Chain A
Amino acid sequence: MEPEAKELDLSSVVEKAVQEHGAERDAIIPILRDINQAFGYLPISALPEIRRRIQIPEEGVFLADSHLYSAASFYQMFSLRPLGRHIIRFCESAPCHVMGGRQVFQTLQEQVGLKPGETSEDQKWSLLTTSCLGVCGVGPVFLVDDDLYGGVSPERIPEILARYE
């Protein structure tokens, strides 16, 4: 099921990303990023679209869809399945944990009613964990979409979640 992929024209999104980043190997990850950004996930049908546009200079070296799949399935910022409208990424690294992250994450899971890796039935939330976001000075930290919340206490969570439709 890829409802959003139909609304946005996949091939034109890919084309735009290739225009932006170039058609060489070093553009593959940036192109995947752009597509993931545009659709909220990486539709698998994007891979052949990318493959057709990438040029490999060496003779005898070729790019297959499986190479792209191998890259797409490796990185944490890519999702190969649709996620909720809002994605919560909670930092589960040691500094945030030591600074009170354990209690915050517990509360967060209770409030959205999800375990890590799950998406809510109404497609509103996806709860994911992430490694260090590099803002440890204000831990514990989590992201909702692109918004960063630092120095979070369990009490602040309802107010933060209420900001999202």
Chain B
Amino acid sequence: MKVIRSMVLVSVDEASLQLGAQEVFRTFLDEIEAFGLSNQIAVTTIRDVGMHSDLPLVIVYPDAAVYGPVKVEDVHAIVEEHLYKGNIVPSLLAMMSELGPDVSWMRRRRGAMPVQKRVVLERAGIVDPESIEDYIVYDGFQALGKALTQMTPSQVIAEVDKSGLQGRGGAGFPTGRKWSFVASTPGFPKYVICNADESEPGTFKDRLILEGDPFSIIEAMTIAGYAINAQEGYIYIRGEYPLAYRRIENAILQAEQHGLLGDHIFGTDFSFHIHPHAGAGAYICGEETALIESLEGKRGMPRARPPYPTTFGLFGQPTVVNNVETLANIGPILRNGPVWYRELGSPKSTGTKVYTILGNVNFTGLIEVPMGITLREVIDIYGKGMKNDKKLKLVQTGGSSGTIAPASLQDTPMDFDSFRNAGVSLGSGALLVCDEDTCVVDLAKVILRFFRNECCGKCTPCRIGTLRLYEIVSQISEGHASLADLELMSKISEAMSEVSNCGLGQTASTALLDILKYFRAEIEAHIVDHICQAGVCPISMPSPEPDLVP
């Protein structure tokens, strides 16, 4: 009989893979074989654990020793000392202080509380994302079983509705209400779409859920299908996420083999099929109607709305479109009940939220915390403070389409309502922290270049507006603008947000307007005095070069 006494987990997210995780994994297998330990020690892979400074990580259970960064040459020492002799190798451990909160909690002593509240990411980093058995051991498919055997579709919707779950894709629409719209719309077939076209710059929470806990999405989509009476689901994964695609493909296959997806799930009359679908590189396809157009094999251009996808979606049929993170909440809600869920977070914004922390902080990565935490807490506790002890200048929240929060707003609680009142959007959960060396003109230029590139070209205000705004900001950075251009930018922005067809055009100038509001003096210094304090704009260069960007 095989008794596994120890488990070795090697991180295999994209970043670890490029730092040699594959070779590390193989070397572990070889070394364990060489020491004759193959019957006692299991080696498996885990996704990214939300930490990025010491990759690839190797975690050895049951000791929960975290080694990193592990090189191929370190493997021998870990196997010999730790796995064979039983002594942790201190010199190879990842520094406790270097570890992100997601990792350090693994090393917590018994009884100590984990720093974060993990609901969506409860399994990520603990289970093997390619094993359905692992998923089932960690409560997987319990929620689906409960829904199919003990609940009616309308009871499922009522539970989700009572939980107060709001869509995590950015708009924050109540999920239960969306489901009930589609359930009550006549017509068949109906479709469930998982929007995994996560393209908002600075956002990778959905990737980590797909890579780390793919079965949870399969389960949640099936529950959604049961709730709205659909038999087909699509998961639209952006083309830049090949690993996530492979994991989902594998999860679908395994779930089908176990009778947890496909025909007569759990032996009931309910059948549901999921089709993975890879995108081909277009930010706009994250907009739900553009995503549907793209699924139908066309250009990803947003439709005019109404009608909304809930009545006229994929192939003209009623369709639910849910974000990955939204779906990842469904299993926990059905298992633990809506009351439990409401106790997390703030009264109006329930549950937890996954954030990505980026930019000039000591630790960049991903956290899941209850709604209502402040920016200061995020930067100090999870970001481990500003890099090089620089001063915080601003935080862009919610990706490139998000707002700019100046340092003065860092004590506002982050939930949908408080942020809305402060004029800040939570959006996709990306928090781009910028220090005092950041030039706001340069930042605005990068953001506007992004929208100029990603605009689909369908409607005029967005097509022309994104181009004109980019041109004007470029002129400011080169010292060829006048103060009147600032008024022009405000006017263009206003027009774009009012008459653009979809969210891209409506939010493309959000950051720009905030920069104009909070940092006007700095922009005027560029225009009037030709001074770029940070020294990054072309006006501050000794010999001005033409802009290289096409």
Say whether A113 faces chain B, with CB atoms less than 8 Å apart. Answer: no
Q: Interface extent on A, as a size class?
A: 35 or more
Residues from 13 to 46 in B contacting A, C-beta threshold 8 Å: 14-15, 17-18
Q: List residues of A (127-148) whose CB comes within 8 Å of B's CBs.
A: 129-139, 146-148
Q: Are A146 and B242 in contact (CB under 8 A)?
A: yes
From the candidates B278, B453, B548, name the one contacting A115 in the complex (CB within 8 A): B548
Considering the complex, which residues of chain A in the window 94-113 have a beta carbon less than 8 Å from any beta carbon of chain B? 94-95, 97-99, 102, 109
A94 and B446 contact, CB distance less than 8 A: yes
Q: Indicate whether A67 reaches chain B with its CB closer than 8 angstroms.
A: yes
Q: Which residues of A contact B450 (CB under 8 A)?
A: 92-94, 131
* Cα-based distance from A107 to B546 in the complex (angstroms): 16
Which residue of the partner chain, among B18, B200, B238, contacts A148 with CB atoms under 8 Å? B18
Q: A98 near B280 (CB under 8 angstroms)?
A: no
On whether the beta carbons of A116 and B550 are closer than 8 Å, the reply is: yes
Find residues 247-283 in chain B having any chain A CB closer than 8 Å to their own CB. 275, 277-283
**In the complex, which range does the number of interface residues on chain B fall in?**
35 or more
Check if B167 is an interface residue, CB within 8 A of chain A. Answer: no
A158 close to chain B: CB less than 8 A: no
The interface residues of chain A lying within 8 Å CB-to-CB of B242 are 146
- A147–B356 Cα distance when bound, in Å, is 23
The docked-state distance in angstroms from the alpha carbon of A130 to that of B275 is: 27
**Do residues B52 and A95 form an inter-chain contact, with CB atoms below 8 A?**
no
Q: Which residues of chain B have C-beta atoms less than 8 A from A75's C-beta?
A: 239, 279-282, 300
Q: Is B280 a contact partner of A130 (Cβ separation < 8 A)?
A: no
Is B536 within 8 A of A130, CB to CB?
Answer: no
- Provided the pairs A95-B359, A115-B548, A135-B14 are in contact, do residues A29 and B443 lie with their beta carbons within 8 angstroms? no
Instruction: Check if A136 sits within 8 Å of B449, measured CB to CB.
Output: no
Does B319 have its Cβ within 8 Å of any Cβ on chain A? no
Q: Mark B512-550, 1 if CB is under 8 A from A, else 0.
A: 000000000000000000000000100000000000111
Q: Which residues of B contact A54 (CB under 8 A)?
A: 297
Question: Min CB distance, A148 to chain B, in Å?
Answer: 5
Is B446's CB under 8 angstroms from A97's CB?
yes
Using A26-B234, A74-B300, A99-B360 as known contacts, say yes or no to A137 and B366 having CB atoms under 8 A apart. yes
B426 beta carbon closer than 8 Å to chain A: no
Partner of B201, one of A129, A136, A138: A136
Contacting residues, chain A, for B536 (C-beta < 8 A): 102
Kindly state whether residue A70 has any CB partner on chain B within 8 Å. yes
- Comparing B151-159, B202-210, B341-349, the segment that makes contact with chain A is B202-210
A123 to chain B, nearest CB (A): 20
Would you call A76 and B299 a contact (CB within 8 A)? no
- The answer to whether the Cβ of B358 comes within 8 Å of any Cβ in the partner chain is yes
Residues of B within 8 A of A76 (CB): 280-282
Query: What separation, in Å, do the CA atoms of A149 and B15 have in the docked complex?
Result: 8
> Given the complex, which residues of B lie within 8 Å of A109, measured CB to CB?
548
Residues of B within 8 A of A102 (CB): 442, 536
Chain B residues within an 8 Å CB radius of A27: 297
Instruction: Please state if B550 and A137 are interface contacts (CB–CB under 8 Å).
Output: no
Say yes or no for B454: interface residue by CB 8 A criterion.
Answer: yes
Give the residues in chain A near B449, CB-CB below 8 Å. Answer: 92
Partner of B14, one of A29, A33, A70, A148: A148
Query: B191-227 CB contact bits vs A (8 Å, 1 = yes)?
Result: 0000000111111100100000000000000000000
- Chain B residues with a Cβ under 8 A of chain A: 14-15, 17-18, 48, 52, 55, 198-204, 207, 234, 238-242, 275, 277-283, 294-300, 315, 356, 358-360, 364-366, 396, 400, 430, 432, 434, 438, 442-443, 446-447, 449-450, 453-454, 456, 536, 548-550
Sample of 13 A–B contacts (CB below 8 Å):
A26-B234, A29-B297, A30-B277, A33-B280, A70-B299, A71-B297, A93-B201, A109-B548, A131-B199, A132-B201, A132-B202, A132-B203, A148-B15
Other than A28-B297, A75-B280, A99-B359, give 12 A-B pairs with Cβ distance below 8 A.
Answer: A26-B295, A54-B297, A75-B282, A76-B282, A78-B281, A97-B443, A99-B364, A116-B550, A134-B198, A148-B14, A150-B14, A150-B18
